[in-house]
């Protein structure tokens, strides 16, 4: 198995695990299960390191795909990178300085980047499962957004990798903000 295929299988499996975990957490929350409260508190306490690990993984993963595997990044991919890459440095600096005041910024960055990832993922799913398409912004020097390089488990594409990362970062940022407000 070549490096690109192995990397894709590992990342896709991790994304599947995270997506199942997110759905399970949502169900626990809706059922008012105490496990959800415990996980919320744990995530809020460890939000800086969780945010750093997720944003660093997403940043390194996107660079490996474009620079090592050779998948060119389209304008939508670059837009998502604009919102993901700075978060790795924000989380690292905040962790180093023990500064919990970044979560409003990381929440906003992840919501905007996640919206772009969601649009691209919906575009990919419509192209894969129907005859409906959504427009792909055309930029002369960048490749088309219409090519789907990864398609695993019937729904996981590169935009889903990013969307899952943005959702996790948004949640831990929100939990940290909410936890800080409850402490005051």
Q: Give which of 86, 89, 80 is closest to 62, Cα–Cα.
A: 80
At a CB cut-off of 8 Å and minimum separation 6, what does 34 contact?
A: none
CA distance 44 to 28: 17
Cα(169)–Cα(163) distance, integer angstroms: 10
Q: Say how far apart CA 29 and CA 106 lie, in whole Å.
A: 23
Task: Kindly give the confidence (pLDDT) of every residue in the chain, 184 residues in length, as a single tens digit, with 9 standing for 90 and above.
Answer: 687 789 999 999 999 999 999 999 999 989 989 998 999 999 999 999 999 999 999 999 999 999 999 999 999 999 999 999 999 999 999 999 999 999 999 999 999 999 999 999 999 999 999 988 888 887 778 888 889 999 999 999 999 999 999 999 999 999 999 998 887 7
Contact between 142 and 78 (Cβ < 8 Å): yes
The residue extents of the domains of the chain are: 3-183
Q: What is the pLDDT of residue 1?
A: 61
Return the structure tokens found at 164. Answer: 């899952």
Q: Say how far apart CA 76 and CA 9 lie, in whole Å.
A: 23
* DSSP secondary structure string for all residues of 98-139: T--TTHHHHHHHHHHHHHHHHHHHHHHHHHHHSS--------
Specify the length of the chain in residues.
184
- Give the Cα separation of 70 and 91 in Å (integer): 28
The two tokens of residue 167 are 């959702």
Strand, helix or coil for residue 10: helix
* Three-class secondary structure of residue 75 per DSSP: helix
CB-CB contact of 166 with 113 (8 Å): yes
């Amino acid at each position: 198995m070549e490096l690109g295929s192995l990397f894709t299988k590992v990342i896709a499996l991790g994304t599947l695990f995270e997506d199942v975990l997110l759905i399970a957490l949502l169900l626990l929350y809706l059922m008012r299960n105490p496990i959800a409260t415990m996980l919320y508190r744990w995530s809020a306490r460890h939000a800086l390191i969780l945010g750093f690990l997720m944003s660093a993984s997403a940043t390194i993963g996107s660079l490996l795909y474009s620079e090592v595997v050779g998948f060119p990044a389209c304008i939508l991919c670059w837009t998502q990178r604009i919102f993901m890459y700075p978060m790795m440095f924000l989380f690292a600096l905040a962790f180093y300085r023990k500064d919990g005041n970044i979560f409003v910024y990381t929440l906003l960055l992840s919501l905007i980047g996640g919206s772009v990832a969601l649009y691209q993922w919906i575009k990919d799913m419509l192209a894969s499962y129907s005859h409906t398409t959504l427009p792909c912004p055309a930029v002369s020097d960048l490749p088309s957004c219409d090519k789907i390089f990864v398609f695993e488990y019937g729904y996981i594409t590169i935009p889903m990798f990013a969307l899952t990362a943005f959702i996790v970062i948004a949640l831990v940022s929100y939990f940290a903000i909410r936890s800080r407000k409850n402490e005051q």
